[in-house]
Structure 1
Amino acid sequence: MSINVSNHGKAMDDAPESTLRLMSVVAVSREAYALEPPHSYTVSAVFSRRVNPAEARSIQGPASHARLDEAGYGHISLVIDDRRLEILNTNLAELKAGLASVLGSLIREISDQTRLEQEKRDEAALMKSMSDDARRKEIEEQAQGISFD
């Protein structure tokens, strides 16, 4: 269970081609409010837009965890819940001390890389479609040139 801490005043951008970003912390686990809070808990941050499936796989995948580990945050787990990133096993001080910057860079890079890969797939599909159309026209022209008289 978490408690909302922000209404994420920055504007959301629903355009799927926009770079995915983390906007703000929107909730922290209830245990953070205890007189003696645990060292780590879950912090929720809101994304600037919906996360597409390829981005979600990358964000929650082993390469992201390895990158966090290299940056000294191997104890962190990332879980996507709709438009939120649940950052498990952290705290607000750790986020402020550098984890937020690492996560922001990671999310933007994944978004940019995913968009580039999609653009390449789209271009390859367009080129194949154009090639298929050209080949179809060539075959139709050859077929029309055949007479059985």
Structure 2
Amino acid sequence: MNRIGLALMAASAAAMIAADAFAGEPSDPFAPTAQKFYLEFDMLAPTDINCDATGPGVRTWVTRNLAGKPILRVTGNAADAEIACWRSDGSRYTTTANRELFYNTGEAIRGTVTFDRNSDAMTVVLRRGDRERIQKVVHRSFVRVN
């Protein structure tokens, strides 16, 4: 029975390595499940804001909600991601809210920026998974850098 389990693990690792090779990414077949961080904006945020995240092992995907506000999905090494946002008027923002909570492999961390056009530092409210319960309120963590 152990041989079957080892054979399945080896086949799974080989499949992951092959998939990563076609995608052009380095492979680690025994890496833990990716961290997930979703950055969203409240209703007061402008619709012309865009965001991106960079860093080693970071993958991003940006969509928009029904109101036109961005939803930045950061997976992989989300805790070390450098998140940057910008507007069409040249304003730039950064946040470190993705480093505030411990990541687990079962649930994503969701951050909602309470946007204030007149403020240089805004609050991010963090929740775990799809629960409504607030895990942490991080004051002055979404900061205008210019």
TM range (shorter): under 0.3
So what's the TM-score if we normalise by structure 2?
Answer: 0.23
Higher helix share: 1
Higher strand share: 2
Rg larger for: 1
